[in-house]
Structure 1
């Protein structure tokens, strides 16, 4: 993704993931004026920047502008701007003389001014509505002396958010609402940790997440057994009048987009905050076969089951023809663990194995400890099973949920990143693509939460995970025809 940082009358564009400083793109720093084409607005500096889908907002002094833009570049100022913050945003005295920092946070946005902040419920455009009980002092975020006199800049970055004050910054693990938890080892100095040379060494005045546009959020939200679907769309097919696709139900679209087989799928999970809870937990690749395939639901799982001794992580395959017909059920101990928690720095890799016909014929599981040592390596192969129970996959979602038998786990801590890589270009959807054999979701659940993914095809996506606000557990319902529990 691309992020923009402003300091004085200059800015930089940085290519980065959800965490870390990334790499400053060639040709930066640049001066805000004339490169952004805003005339006198912001020529001497930007106070705050807010990502808001295809519209972005920039604040300078007592004024703001709304800009229509894509992922990169300044875009174009919408007609009628600049405007005065007050009374257009309807915040009363708050921010009338300026906004210091703005934080995009899905349906909630946060604005900082002086020693106070507000939380606003809003859509892509407009000021939205200030939530009851605001403004509040920044001190309630529990950051100690950091930011006590104000926040200079805030950057949405998935389940990790960055805040800048003076020559320091913090990284915070959080969900859509609330202060979250400052990660260990912070605050840190901006220089030399972000590697920007002189730029920003004395402070960042504004930061703009520009990784979007983001895919629409699933109806139930992002967490537990409700995550995005990733798939590889094929070439659209123009259907003849009255022609139906085998096993396709409901109205027939004039144009049907099939799915390519997903090949070489690998999921890489990095634990940034210890995963612990009152019972077990697991990561599930819930994969889908194409219409007409015998093996419709494919689950590839690692889990920590508190009922096994000694403590350890299991790996598992659980594939179904239908909700009543299980065709493959395999499991093995992947590794022993010090306890029923997964420590900071541990990494999990699950790689699906394809044969020449693109069928999934096994899964490779690797667990690496926080010293970089491989402590578990297993391959569960079912290539010797009857050909009729093998199938390619065309879509999947990853779920951080309870361990087994429909368990719901309440996690006390846990955060990190999940990187999805495939040989195909993948696209992101908020529901199953129409080419899947049948719709299902896992029964296991947890108070987990996931970050947004961009609405741009890629062979690799990185998504953050953490805990939901207030321990909320999403139970996905709606279009799903069947639910499956690991057995």
Structure 2
């Protein structure tokens, strides 16, 4: 028997949540496989692992209630990036604020706007002895090739908008998670012309499939990015490994709206650099044209 889909359906920025009754999830490994190539026609692509924490009594106000670990690529760019985007506070109380926004490079893809069939992406949080997430490892394995990985420790990063380093006061466990395959960032609406595969969720403890974000997690919102992706139904489960299919709606829908506000993934540094480079190139062309006229 399948678990009821979210009211908005199974697709885009709405997928099932997985949880363990409010207990901290540990040993998590989310693996995305590609039976067909994922081809983006617009706004790149992003694989967003969204982790949700309880607002624990006595925890510092800086403790993140929403942790995003994202693998993405921008339109026309062969670089595969990883982003950490963590938030404290809650959306219903309008107290949410960004804690971490950090970008790293994972690898260079064979073609821009495409993940080839047979590739595998893994998003693997690092957990401390007290079950808080202290870092992340992104792994990309090309078809028949050698895996490449990038690992980031949270304490190596600055607190967003400051020169201060992350400390344990900015770390937390997660009690629920969901995975979305969407556009790259900044509330982008990704449009894919091809793509299918599986999402394999593995944890140290059995996970239960839920229709919506559980009431005991604090953030109560989701990502603002969307796409024409669809996710397979899952049976009632209490397993350490859960496998879900994913694919593309060829009609270009559903493109579903945000859960509450829908928090966009901020524009990453690589995108700002690309814009600046385009401006410099455009200015150079204009200057050359003026010189030719003179």
TM-score w.r.t. structure 2 length? Answer: 0.80
Match among 78, 81, 101 for residue 329 of structure 1: 101
Paired residues for 1:150-189 under 5 Å: none
Aligned to 2:134: 361
Q: Is the 8 A contact 1:319 1:327 kept in 2?
A: yes
Q: Is the 8 A contact 2:226 2:257 kept in 1?
A: no
Q: Counterpart of 1:379 in 2: which secondary structure?
A: strand
Q: Counterparts of 1:358 and 1:218 in 2: how far apart (Å)?
A: 28
Paired residues for 1:63-102 under 5 Å: none
Structure 1 pair 291–357 and aligned structure 2 pair: CA distance change class (3 A) = same
Q: Highest Rg: 1 or 2?
A: 1
Match status 1:459 vs 2:240: yes
Q: Is the 8 A contact 1:268 1:418 kept in 2?
A: yes
Number of aligned residue pairs: 245
Paired residues for 1:252-331 under 5 Å: 259-279=22-42, 280-292=44-56, 294-306=63-75, 308=77, 311-322=78-89, 324-331=96-103
Higher relative contact order (CA 8 A, sep 6+): 2
Q: Counterparts of 1:307 and 1:290 in 2: how far apart (Å)?
A: 39
Q: Counterparts of 1:223 and 1:430 in 2: how far apart (Å)?
A: 13
Q: Counterparts of 1:307 and 1:232 in 2: how far apart (Å)?
A: 40
Match status 1:231 vs 2:27: no
Aligned to 1:403: 184
1:386, distance to aligned residue in structure 2 (A)? 1.9
Q: Is the 8 A contact 1:289 1:391 kept in 2?
A: yes
Q: Is the 8 A contact 1:216 1:430 kept in 2?
A: yes
Match among 181, 190, 214 for residue 433 of structure 1: 214
What do you get for the CA RMSD once the two structures are aligned?
A: 1.4
Q: Counterpart of 1:465 in 2: which secondary structure?
A: strand
Runs of 4+ in 1 over 3 A off after TM superposition: none
TM-score w.r.t. structure 1 length? Answer: 0.49
Q: Counterparts of 2:40 and 2:250 in 1: how far apart (Å)?
A: 16
Segments of structure 1 that go 5 or more residues without pairing to the other structure are 1-212, 234-258
Aligned to 1:377: 149
Segments of structure 2 that go 5 or more residues without pairing to the other structure are 157-165, 267-294
User: C-alpha offsets along residues 346-371 of structure 1, whole Å, 9 cap, x if unaligned?
Assistant: 11111111111111111111100111
Q: Is the 8 A contact 2:189 2:255 kept in 1?
A: no
